Amino acid sequence: MYTAAALVYPDALATSITLPMEILLAASQMASLRKRGKPQVRFLLAAPARRQLTLGTGITLKPDLTIDQLPQLDLLLLPAIWRSPLPTVDAARDWLPSVEGHAATGTKICTVGTASYLLAETGLLDGKPATTHWHYFDRFAGRYPRVRLKTRHLITQCDNYYCVGSVNSIADVMIHLVEEWFGSRIARAVENQFSPEIRRSFSGAAYQEEPLTSHHDETVLEAQEWLQEHLSTPMTLASLAEHLGLSVRTLNRRFRQATGLSPQAYLQTLRIALAKDLLRHSNLPVNDIAWQTGLQDVSYFGQLFRRHAGMNPLAYRQAVRGKLFAPQDN
């Protein structure tokens, strides 16, 4: 059984608690059918004190236990904060060490909106990518200069830390976790219940800290971020080198040392990953997908895709759609 918990504080937004709770409990019910009816997820509400709490929006919640009483967790959720996060940050100083304790044991921690302030306050996000509610970008960056704020992404993930910029995007992270815990079939079934429209996947929507970006060459990290943000724009190595203030030769050398790939090869992996995501989760024609990945030559796009995926784009779409929309067992 997986154990998840949400912290409850006076200015928490209830939707950022109830939506993840319902998604995970729906997945638990579906998974329990294969486990002789035994629940597969336990979801707890925890607060600094074990008493009924009326949120700023007027909704009343009753915690199951105090923060200090929480057991070992698989997921700890810090819900979005209504209006300014600073009063909540000030009030949280007594219990933030408990969050650090759960982080030290390998618990996944997910913040919603300005709850990223709470995680940043502990120092756990120093040197790591994160995001927050768009209205607080400048203030967050000023207060936590050591955090690598990603203003172009609604979701970031590094190690066991997930930051979500909006309440709506928490659903994408929860579906991602459902797939990790119970597999793609249950994840797609839950997703179709809560969000039947075709959405971008977690991997397509999130900024993820992966091995290729876990090195310490800040200039190469800047190059990687620039490439990620300009996927739909035709790019030359010379223009990237000029942007970074490097020679083409130096850029190639440092990029290979840091990632094991040339800048062009790295860019191709990003473009193919985006193309796969769009083929799987959108109805865009292949020509439009080629343009969105910065490859206006559709013939070359097809050749490049086949080289990476082992099949042409239409065949790939048919293959993954067949798995995605396969009939479910009754």
192, 220: one domain = no
| Both structure tokens of 131 | 């995001």
Position 116 scores a pLDDT of 97
Instruction: Return the CATH number at 291.
Output: 1.10.10.60
Structural domain contains residue 329: no
| End residue of a domain, out of 208, 226, 254 | 208
Neighbours of 65 (CB within 10 A): 14
Mean pLDDT by 10 residues, the chain (330 residues): 95 94 93 74 94 88 95 97 94 95 96 97 96 93 95 88 90 91 88 64 59 74 86 85 93 92 91 88 87 89 90 86 42
237, 108: one domain = no
199, 283: one domain = no
243, 186: one domain = no
Position 198 scores a pLDDT of 42
Range list of β-strands (E), the chain: 2-7, 41-47, 53-54, 60-61, 65-66, 75-78, 108-112, 129-130, 148-149, 155-158, 161-164, 206-208
115, 202: one domain = yes
| Both structure tokens of 94 | 């007594």
Domain hosting 71: range is 2-208
296, 186: one domain = no
Structural domain contains residue 293: yes
Position 324 scores a pLDDT of 41
Position 330 scores a pLDDT of 34
182, 264: one domain = no
Instruction: Return the CATH number at 25.
Output: 3.40.50.880
105, 217: one domain = no
For residue 154, give the DSSP letter.
Answer: S
242, 198: one domain = no
| End residue of a domain, out of 183, 208, 233 | 208
Position 328 scores a pLDDT of 38
Structural domain contains residue 330: no
Domain count, the chain: 2
